[in-house]
Amino acid sequence: DTGVSQDPRHKITKRGQNVTFRCDPISEHNRLYWYRQTLGQGPEFLTYFQNEAQLEKSRLLSDRFSAERPKGSFSTLEIQRTEQGDSAMYLCASSLDGVVDRPPEAFFGQGTRLTVV
Amino acid sequence: LAKTTQPISMDSYEGQEVNITCSHNNIATNDYITWYQQFPSQGPRFIIQGYKTKVTNEVASLFIPADRKSSTLSLPRVSLSDTAVYYCLVGARYSSASKIIFGSGTRLSIRP
């Protein structure tokens, strides 16, 4: 257990429905990341928060995707009007800022597996 | 953003030492090299990070030559439980890579 929890672990939804995932990071971590991973591929970066500010969004994050991190604590990722191509594992990670020039060590949750039927 | 190249897959046997090499020809002066491990149906896990020469922890060693254009993750005496995908990442704290970008990784299979 890394200390990062994601809910739900699995979600099956019908095409066109909206889904929302939650991530609870390690409490003192100010950075929070969302990734998407499909079978056989590495995690693809979706978006990144520094406290409550969403600092960067990937072009992968279409208009149907939105992420929030109110009060800089937990985060939610919502997908509207789901499509079959959205089926993937959605991973959340959190970290501190890093030290000097060192990239931070990210701690990942176990992910939410989404299946769109 | 420094691109990394690593083998798609590797096979080895229990008890052997495994070395996975990552090429990063365009590494920047401030960039660090970080390796993550991912088991099936789990999120990646940080293994080791280094800037130059050699870094060792309880899990692995990381060898970085003077030119820093490549690095080698060394896993001593692997067991079946080391079967996983290993990702090599290059970046610095305040670069765009601070968002932690993964490539395709190396799928390591350990046999009895």
Q: State the number of CA atoms in the 13 A half-sphere of A90 facing the CB.
A: 30
Nearest to A103 among B34, B42, B102 (CB): B34
Chain A residue nearest residue B39, CA to CA = A110
The per-residue pLDDT for B97 is 42
Separation CA A22–CA A9 (nearest Å): 10
Bridge partners for A91 per DSSP: A35
More confident position, A38 or B96: A38
Q: Mark out chain B residues that contact chain A at CB-CB < 8 A.
A: 30, 32, 34, 36, 41-46, 49, 85, 87, 89, 91-94, 96-105
Q: What is the pLDDT of residues A59-111, one digit of tens each?
A: 878 899 999 999 889 999 999 999 999 999 999 999 988 777 788 889 999 99
The predicted structure's pLDDT at residue B94: 62
- Secondary structure (3-state) at B87: strand
Please list every residue in chain B whose beta carbon sits closer than 8 Å to the beta carbon of residue A109.
43
- Residues B22-79 pLDDT 10s: 999 999 888 899 999 999 889 999 999 999 999 999 999 999 999 999 999 999 999 9
Helices assigned H by DSSP within chain A: none
pLDDT band of B99, cuts 50, 70, 90: low
The H helix count followed by the E strand count for chain A is 0, 11
**What is the count of residue pairs from A and B with beta carbons less than 8 Å apart?**
78
Give B-chain residues touching A91 at CB under 8 angstroms.
43-44
Token digits of residue B12: 């080895």
Name which of A84, A6, A67 is nearest B42 in CA terms.
A6
> What does each C-alpha distance from B81 to A28, B22, B26, B110 come to in angstroms?
31, 22, 33, 8
Tokens 């699995």 sit on residue: A10
Share of chain A above pLDDT 90, in %: 77
List of residues 6+ apart from A74 with CB closer than 8 A: A22, A23, A24, A25
**What is the radius of gyration, based on Cα positions, of chain B?**
13
The structure tokens 């971590």 sit at: A29
Write out pLDDT tens, residues B84-98. Answer: 999 999 887 665 445
Distances (CA, A) of A79 to A4, A10, A82, A83: 21, 15, 6, 9
Query: Which residues 6+ apart lie within 8 Å of B1 measured at CB?
Result: B91, B95, B96, B97, B101
pLDDT score recorded for residue B61: 97
pLDDT in the model for residue B3: 83
**At A84, phi and psi to the nearest 5?**
-60, -30
Can you say how many angstroms the Cα of residue A61 is from the centroid of all Cα atoms in its chain? 11
Which residue among B32, B42, B105 sits closest to A103, beta carbon to beta carbon? B32
Predicted confidence band of residue B1 (pLDDT cuts 50, 70, 90):
low
Structure tokens at B82: 């080391």
